[in-house]
Amino acid sequence: MTDTIVSIRGITKRFGSVEALKNISIDIQQGEIFALLGPSGCGKSTLLRLISGFESPSEGELLLDGNDMTALPPNKRPINMVFQSYAVFPHMNVEDNVAYGLKMEKVPAKEIKERVAIALEQVHLSNFSQRKPDQLSGGQRQRVALARALVKRPRVLLLDEPLSALDAKLRDAMRLELVKLQESVGVTFIIVTHDQAEAMAMADRIAVLESGTLRQVASPAELYAHPADAFVADFIGNINAFDVQQISTIDTGVALHIDELGVIEWFSEPPSTISIPASSEDKVEATLSVRPEHVSISTTIPANDQVSIEGTLGDIAFQGQHSIAEIRLDNGRSISAIIANDQALILPGANKQLRIWAHWSINNMLLLPKKAPPL
């Protein structure tokens, strides 16, 4: 049984004529890591600033534990924001940086000392309390910023691109560390990121935003396996999408007319978000897609229970555990396949013009609307 801690209800935010957020409703559960994910400019930071109280909505309301907090100023909300690492005070040592907020609130000195010690322990910086920020690594500075927020004992911690200032390797390590920290302190985390891998690795649930609208809210696995539309499918991982030109009803389901793949019989109901046009003149807004890990390649014609397409072998990018092969279709477009390295070695890499077939099972395909209606 979970409890909603933050309720975002019908929130719209306008900046002059720009609608940065359009009628967003999300319930965030107590104790979860919730990620706001989407491309640059989609409204992630704006939503975070609304939750923190630094910005107020044009329409809609925000509830905390079921109580309206829309009019509460930021310092009256049990919510804290973690800024990027450079937001720590360079002239203060770690301890003073962490104590600063409590001093401002005139918390008694003894209590400050105790709370700072606990916060530093939580972020594993107890032995660094006397250092100045410039004597710390990027990851350690980031942990000072976290401790500064945790020491206020918030119920909700807001993190805007918390790892973006770190280099790739440190970012991976800090992802895990943040998840562990969240588990040990039990505070609800709302994290903003435009990096889908980061959101997938850390979050219990993810909200995908696009141009101020909410496209989908689901767990990482659910988003990957059942994206609401082609936008989400493409944003969450890589996918090979084929445009559907026409859909017609047949006894067993629907027939999908796809220029690149021919006519494909789809033996189940198409999603309700795809409308089947009454006339063949009407445009269809749907794609049939397959993820690269489900695509195989071969130099001989595949079995006829496979969906297949012919092309020439393009670049093969070695990735450690596997390789990613590019298949250049005859119409100039490319698709990709993740292949085992032993297969990559058999394929004559020097022969870039090698004719091959890419093939996969229809069971691994996703029939999706190009854009589902916003939630």
Ligand X SMILES: Nc1ncnc2c1ncn2[C@@H]1O[C@H](COP(=O)(O)OP(=O)(O)OP(=O)(O)O)[C@@H](O)[C@H]1O
Report the interface residues with Mg ion, using CB under 5 A: 45
Query: What is the C-alpha to C-alpha distance for residues 92 and 132, in angstroms, rounded to an integer?
Result: 6
Residue placing its CB nearer to ligand X in the complex, 46 or 140: 46
Q: Which residues touch 195 (CB under 8 Å, ≥6 apart)? A: 164
255's tokens: 């027939």
Q: Determine, following the binding rule CB under 6 A, whether residue 208 of this chain makes contact with ligand X.
A: no
List, as own/partner pairs, every contact residues 329-332 make where C-beta atoms lie below 8 angstroms and the sequence separation is at least 24, other chains included.
329/260, 331/259, 331/260
Provide the mask over 178-207, with x wherever binding to ligand X is found by CB under 6 A and - wherever it is not.
----------------x-------------
In the chain, count of helices (H) and strands (E)?
A: 9, 21
CB 259 within 8 A of CB 329: no
44, 205, 215, 359: which one binds ligand X (CB under 6 A): 44
Return the closest-CA partner of residue 314 out of 352, 368, 282, 278: 352
**CB 49, min distance to ligand X, A:** 8
In the numeric block, the tokens 């509460």 are attached to 72
Residues between 45 and 74 with contacts to ligand X, criterion CB under 6 A:
45-46
Binding part of the chain for ligand X, among 27-35, 42-50, 281-289, 317-325 by CB under 6 A, reads: 42-50
Give me the DSSP letters along 121-171: HHTT-GGGTT--GGGS-HHHHHHHHHHHHHTT--SEEEEESTTTTS-HHHH
Nearer to ligand X, 17 or 184 (CB): 17
Closest approach, Cβ 37 to ligand X, in A, equals 9
Q: Which of 43, 154, 162, 314 binds ligand X (CB under 6 A)?
A: 43
Residue 57 binding target from ligand X, Mg ion, none, CB below 5 to 8 Å by type: none
Rule CB under 6 A: say whether 339 interacts with ligand X.
no
Residue of the chain from 18, 87, 225, 346 that contacts ligand X (CB under 6 A): 18
Nearer residue to ligand X within complex by CB, 46 or 323:
46
Q: Phi and psi of 57, rounded to 5°?
A: -75, 155
Question: Please, which residue, 18 or 263, has the CB nearer to ligand X?
Answer: 18
d(CA 8, CA 169): 34
Query: Taking the complex as a whole, how short is the minimal distance between the CB of residue 149 and Mg ion, in angstroms?
Result: 18
Please tell me what DSSP assigns to residue 271: P
Taking alpha carbons only, the member of 287, 194, 290 closest to residue 238 is 290
Tell me which stretch binds ligand X (CB under 6 A): 43-51, 66-74, 177-185, 231-239. Answer: 43-51
To the nearest whole angstrom, how small is the minimum distance from the Cβ of residue 160 to Mg ion?
6
Taking CB under 6 A as the criterion, the residue among 40, 67, 184, 353 binding ligand X is 40
Q: Cβ of residue 45: shortest distance to ligand X, in angstroms? A: 3
Does position 291 bind ligand X by CB under 6 A? no
Tell me the closest approach of the beta carbon of residue 300 to ligand X, in angstroms.
Answer: 46
| CB 39 to ligand X: min, Å | 7
Q: Choose the binding region for ligand X from 13-21, 83-91, 265-273, 366-374 (rule: CB under 6 A).
A: 13-21
| DSSP code, position 112 | H
Shortest Cβ distance from residue 237 to Mg ion (Å)? 22
Contact status: 254 vs ligand X (CB under 6 A): no
From residue 252, alpha-carbon distances to 111, 201, 268 in Å are 71, 39, 7
Binding partner of 40, given Mg ion, ligand X, none, CB within 5-8 angstroms per partner class: ligand X
Query: Is the separation of the CB atoms in 207 and 351 below 8 Å?
Result: no
Residue 29 touching ligand X (CB under 6 A)? no
Q: C-alpha angle 250/251/257, rounded to 5°?
A: 20
20 binds, among ligand X, Mg ion, none (CB under 5 to 8 A by kind): ligand X
Shortest Cβ distance from residue 60 to ligand X (Å)?
Answer: 16
Cα distances (Å, whole numbers) of residue 213 to 41, 43, 245: 11, 8, 27
- Binding residues for ligand X, rule: CB under 6 A, are 15, 18, 20, 38, 40-46, 194
